[in-house]
Structure 1
Amino acid sequence: MAAPLFAIVFLTVLGSPALAGEPSEVVRPFYLQPGLELEQSARGHFIDPARKVLNQNDAIRQGGEVGCLDPALPFNDTNYDPAEIASTLKLEEIVSGNEATVLAKFMAEGEEQAVQWQLKDIGGRWRIADMISTSKDWALSRFQCE
């Protein structure tokens, strides 16, 4: 009787994180489709504080202005070559409970770049809370888009 109970508990524990999928798989599309973070279709992948800044940027753009965010943020605000990104992109993730950090490393402008993505498991789905440069002084959450 103990063995079946152990198996049920073991499978339940193993299965819980799988509901949310892998945090790195939430981040990967932003490197395959540049500018995706600025599209309304991707807004469901974000939570505050990142979502608030993205929504503020949308409001500025709807008013006819350029916006306050550079579409190259996932690429550490560089002049990147999509082919170089595709061939060098490495995603490393650390999960701790309902929070995760994904470190995206890639080559751009002849140098290794790195952007840290902070995610939270909300209702069984990983959502992006922030995007932070590891070598430049910016974080999505710190942009003042007003």
Structure 2
Amino acid sequence: MARTLALATVCLLAAGLSITAAQGLFGAPPANVPADNAAPATPPAAENEPAAPVRPGSPTAVVKPFYEHVGLELDPAERSDFADPAKSVLDKSDALRKSGQGECLDPNMALDNAAYDRAEIDKSLKTVEAVKGDEAKVIVAFIIAGNPHRLEWKLRKVGDGWKITDLLSVTGEWALSQYQCE
């Protein structure tokens, strides 16, 4: 049943449905989304069902390290995983930090700026990948301190690999590409 629902999710996302329609796949939508726009919640997967393996080189494989190493998205050594507009914002944030004028970005954007609890994240982390041509989305859902979080990683095929072009928080209503780090 869970695999059927996961396949249906990928099909819906690949068909180009809005994130508002897709967000019901990971529970109730954020409070500011009208209830009549919400899709029904998907029942949680069985506790003992193993997660599908991540294919090397897939969009999910590009996103996964950001959940294994908190704050990795702000590490200039990881800039090769990004393309514009995300790369430009991260580069401007680096320049601002080096100038001594402060920080522009939160240190744990991949966790929706929530408190970090490795065990809680590992237990609840779910991903869904949708690829359409040279563009992809990886929806990530997890629970921290009883609060659900959903993020959407947008990627674009560049050469033989995938590059992150934006990171959006469905829960927190922010997008990396919208930050003004100047």
Which structure 1 residue ranges, 5 or more long, are not aligned?
A: 1-19
> Where do 4+ consecutive residues of structure 1 move more than 4 Å?
none
Q: CA RMSD in A?
A: 1.2
Partner-residue secondary structure (3-state), 1:127: strand
Mapped pair 1:97 → 2:156 = no
Mapped pair 1:75 → 2:92 = no
Q: Give the TM-score, by structure 1 length.
A: 0.83
How many Å apart are 1:71 and its aligned residue? 1.1
Q: Residue 84 of structure 1 corresponds to which residue in structure 2? A: 120
Which deviates more, 48-57 or 84-93? 84-93
Q: Which has more strand, going by share of residues?
A: 1
| CA distance, structure 1, for counterparts of residue 108 and residue 74 of structure 2 | 10
Amino acid at match of 1:40: P
2:62 corresponds, among 17, 26, 41, to: 26
Q: Residue 80 of structure 2 corresponds to which residue in structure 1? A: 44
| CA distance, structure 1, for counterparts of residue 107 and residue 145 of structure 2 | 16
Q: Residue 5 of structure 1 corresponds to which residue in structure 2? A: none
Partner-residue secondary structure (3-state), 2:174: coil
| CA distance, structure 2, for counterparts of residue 135 and residue 112 of structure 1 | 8
Greater radius of gyration (CA): 1
Q: Residue 43 of structure 2 corresponds to which residue in structure 1? A: none
Q: Give the TM-score, by structure 2 length.
A: 0.67
How many Å apart are 1:65 and its aligned residue? 3.4
Q: Which has more helix, going by share of residues?
A: 1
| CA distance, structure 1, for counterparts of residue 70 and residue 147 of structure 2 | 19
Higher relative contact order (CA 8 A, sep 6+): 1
Mapped pair 1:136 → 2:172 = yes
Alignment: residue pair count: 127
Partner-residue secondary structure (3-state), 1:21: coil
Which deviates more, 62-71 or 33-42? 62-71
